[in-house]
Chain A
Amino acid sequence: MTPFKWATAVIAALSIAFIVILAVQNQQQNTPNFDLVGELSPDIEGESARGEAIDLDQILQQNRSKVPAQQTWVAVNFFASWCSGCIVEHGDLLQFHEEGVVNDDGVVCPTQLLGVAFNDEEADVKDFFDRLGGDWPVVVGSETNQIALDFSVLTAPETFLIAPSGLIVLKVIGPVTYQRLSESISC
């Protein structure tokens, strides 16, 4: 074969390889996965709308010196006043906060609900809670950006459930239900 034919053959081979790659990739649909489930939770440190200090690490530390039945489960809820799904789930969150979760033996598992504002103004957050009720600590201010990114949040609402050990056991994208949270907690 002459050099010309060699060159053409090489180009032919490369083109066919290229087409095969395209064909294979055309079939698959890969969605990126940045789930934090099964990993240790990032820390949450900040100030709530009412000025209280919020420290997730502190809660987890305290868990170490308690018996399992008394260790606190933490639910972290990323939300915003501009998001319609957050309004939908707010009732469930209220229920979670006020009633807590009761296990099969009738014991109330200690739970803590933390809210984190997502790309929202403090005034709007206050207004949101004034309208819809609820008094759990909500992180506002400039730290919320870093916290959201630490948790690889995409948009509001997203809710994470953190076991007493600090492991994230559940991630819910979209409005969360009381059911989902309570069935994942055991103590």
Chain B
Amino acid sequence: MNLAIGLSGIVLSLVAALSGILTIVIGLRYSRKKLLILGARYSWLVLAGMMIATFAMQRALITRDFSVKFVAEQGSSLTPPLFNIATMWSALEGSVLLWGLILAGYLVVVTVKFNGRYTDPMVAWALVVIFFVMGFFALAMIGPANPFQSFDPPIGYDGPGPNPLLQNHILVAFHPPMLYLGFVGFTVPFAFAISALITGRLGEGWLLETRRWTLFAWGFLTAGIILGAWWAYDVLGWGGYWGWDPVENASLVPWLTGTAYIHSVLVQERRGLLRVWNLSLICATFALTILGTFITRSGILASVHAFSAGNFGGWLLVFFSIIVVVAVALIFWRGERLRSPGGMDSPLSREGAFLANNLAFAVFAFVVLLGTVFPLIVEAFQNRQISVGAPYFEKMSMPIGFTLLFLMAVAPLLPWRKAGRELLVHRVEWPAWGAALSIVIAVAVGARGALPLLGFSMAGFAGTSAVRQLALSARRHRFRGFLGRKNGGMVVHIGVILLAVGFIASSSFVDQASISLTTGEKVRIAETDVTYISSNTYTHPNRIEEEVLLEVDGQILSPAVERFIASGQIVPAPDTRITLYEDIQVALLDPPEGQEKKIVIQITRQPMLVWIWLGGLLMLLGTALSLFPQTRRPYLRDNIPEVAGHMLEKDLQE
């Protein structure tokens, strides 16, 4: 029953998507307005299909309908309810269904937003592109990634449940959906970019239409990535939160190009420059999300996150090729005609800073992508296997990180078009003091080492610059001074800076050690006093938890080890003491054994680690602020060349 409902939902979406494409294309060809309007309405059917399929899947999961192969392989009567719902995206086929659902949702939102404009070829072509992407995923769900295959369960069959790591932490309900809201969200600006290339209309219209979408999608992608890092930190026990694993990198690369885009788009809006560059960036970002999905699901690179099945990888690669070929061909054909007239006056300007920003992000994206796929390239040419891991990425991202912090500091200070030296010197004064103060404070609290100190000072430099901007804006507009793109952007920057500080501190000054203990024993390890108090075993429906109680520097922590019944897999459950200045994480490496309940624990101390999550939170807050409309009345400054504005201010003061 669920099988039939589910499959019919997918087929409905596929047929609706194809019909949409056909209808709109014919409508465009023969200028039939009615067809264009009809074509747009097919998006509702697409959404209906995806919702029906999702409903069927959830129903199958909740009722433990093992006649559905996906449920038989991923579900279990022992899985707690919340995790059971999340089981839908805990394996390949279900995750593709989630992707399709979110895409259908975005499609309908676009349809609603552009209601009344379906006859505009720009909108029409954009819809065609989104229908096309939808068609691909729907087709995949009938083909290699079919979530509704049948299974004949023997009597008394109970499934193994999802991977234990995916059913012991609440973030499984948030991290994947947010990532997808991000990845899939980029489909919309991509669709409009392709549409702009096809229609040859590259006035600022398409940009404005899609700017908010991009920010929205970017915000979710940021949230998804940070939640992933938090999840890893909470669960693995090594104090690590980012391993430069191929799948992690696959999500980072489109984020980097997306970040470059949301900056360079400002240059296009303000000065009309970088048009073709922005088009290319958004096409690249979308293509990279598909590439990332390919890397995750093809098994081509070994990763703890990979979950592959069948030949879906091959399908994704084909789709990726289509996107790349179409985008590059369109840019080749149309690009020259659409290039921006005029150019930048001076590199020492806001545009120049944004250009440098884009360069830095592009190089960063290149580094991460290259490092990730390099083993494949070497294997293709030399038939031997090498690895490119954390040491490479860490070394290469450091200079880029410094550059980005520097640019973050300097860009808000630079006026558009051209900067006068005196103006700059005046504006950079406070941030420079911020830099000096940061390094003094860092040294005072005990930080040592040239590189971390320089990192802190650069962060202080950037932070003060952002705060200065916000202060100016708040002084002028009070609370409204926090709204809008520029101010929200400053809040995001502050978030990034907090994150950077947390990152520098926690990675430069780690203290980690492991030791074995017997009940009642007290030791001093990694400058921490640890007393082993007791151990307990708890039996849950789906797992057996062996927990120990430790007193760590005066506080009780209870790390555990969980053994999942159905799969037999053992999963760590470390405990962390979080304060603003330090995190102490205790992991139980070896569960209690023998008479004395001997255990092996690992202690990891990292300073200021929570700043990373706080910074991430601020980034999301800033993104939300950016989405709010700015002040109703355009204020004077931004419409007159900055120099004049500055002089006017002096006039007013005198």
Contact = CB atoms under 8 A, between A and B. Distances in A.
- Do A and B contact each other directly (Cβ–Cβ < 8 Å)? yes
Interface of A: 2, 4-5, 8-9, 11-12, 15-16, 18-19, 21-26, 30, 32
B199 interface: no
B289 to A, nearest CB: 15
A21 B380 contact: yes
18 contacts: A2-B336, A4-B339, A5-B332, A5-B336, A8-B328, A8-B332, A9-B332, A12-B325, A15-B328, A16-B324, A16-B325, A21-B377, A22-B294, A22-B300, A24-B380, A25-B376, A25-B380, A26-B298
B185 to A, nearest CB: 23
Contacts of B314: 23, 26
B376 A8 contact: no
A23 B314 CA distance: 7
Given A22-B294, A26-B300, A26-B317, A8 B380 contact: no
Contacts of A16: 321, 324-325
Contacts of B300: 22, 25-26
B324 A19 contact: yes
A172 to B, nearest CB: 24
B460 interface: no
A6 to B, nearest CB: 10
Nearest to A20: B380
Given A4-B335, A4-B339, A30 B321 contact: no
Interface-central residue, A2, A12, A19, A22, by most chain B CB under 10 Å: A22
Contacts of A15: 324, 328
A26 B385 contact: no
Interface size class of B (residues with CB under 8 A): 20 to 34
A22 B300 CA distance: 8
A21 B382 CA distance: 12
Given A25-B300, A25-B379, A19 B320 contact: yes
Contacts of B377: 21
Given A15-B324, A26-B317, A32-B385, A21 B376 contact: yes
Interface string B364-384: 000000000100110110000
A26 B313 contact: yes
B339 A23 contact: no
Q: Does more than half of chain B's interface fall in helix, strand or loop, or is it mixed? A: helix
B331 interface: yes
A22 B292 CA distance: 12
A19 B380 contact: no
A19 B321 contact: yes
Please provide the 6 A-B residue pairs with the shortest distance between their CB atoms, ordered closest to farther.
Answer: A8-B332, A12-B328, A21-B380, A25-B376, A15-B324, A19-B321
Interface-central residue, B298, B317, B332, B335, by most chain A CB under 10 Å: B332
Q: Does more than half of chain A's interface fall in helix, strand or loop, or is it mixed? A: helix
A24 to B, nearest CB: 6
Contacts of B380: 21, 24-25
Contacts of B328: 8, 11-12, 15
Contact of A30 (B313, B320, B336, B385): B385
Interface in B287-333: 294, 298, 300, 313-314, 317, 320-321, 324-325, 328-329, 331-332
A88 B300 CA distance: 34
A28 to B, nearest CB: 8
Interface string B334-349: 0110010000000000
Contacts of A18: 373
Contacts of B324: 15-16, 19
A2 B324 CA distance: 21
A126 to B, nearest CB: 14
Contacts of B329: 12
Contacts of A12: 325, 328-329, 332
Contacts of A4: 335-336, 339
A25 B294 CA distance: 12
A2 B333 CA distance: 12
Contacts of A21: 373, 376-377, 380
Given A19-B320, A25-B376, 15 more contacts: A4-B339, A5-B332, A5-B335, A12-B332, A16-B324, A21-B376, A21-B377, A21-B380, A22-B300, A22-B317, A23-B314, A23-B317, A26-B300, A26-B313, A30-B385
Contacts of A23: 314, 317
A8 B331 CA distance: 8
Nearest to A5: B332
A2 B377 CA distance: 31
A13 to B, nearest CB: 10
A181 B99 CA distance: 53
Nearest to B294: A22
Interface in B602-636: none
Contacts of A5: 332, 335-336
Nearest to A33: B385
Interface in B348-404: 373, 376-377, 379-380, 385
A22 B376 contact: yes
Given A15-B324, A22-B376, A24-B380, A8 B317 contact: no
Nearest to A23: B317
Contacts of A8: 328, 331-332, 335
A26 B313 CA distance: 8
A30 B380 CA distance: 11
A83 B328 CA distance: 55
Contacts of A19: 317, 320-321, 324
Nearest to B320: A19
Contacts of B332: 5, 8-9, 12
Nearest to A9: B332
B206 to A, nearest CB: 20
Nearest to B331: A8
A98 B332 CA distance: 78
A172 B376 CA distance: 30
Nearest to B276: A4
Contacts of A9: 332
Nearest to B295: A22
A164 to B, nearest CB: 34
Contacts of B379: 25, 30
B399 to A, nearest CB: 24
B339 to A, nearest CB: 7
A15 B329 CA distance: 12
A25 B384 CA distance: 12
Contacts of B336: 2, 4-5
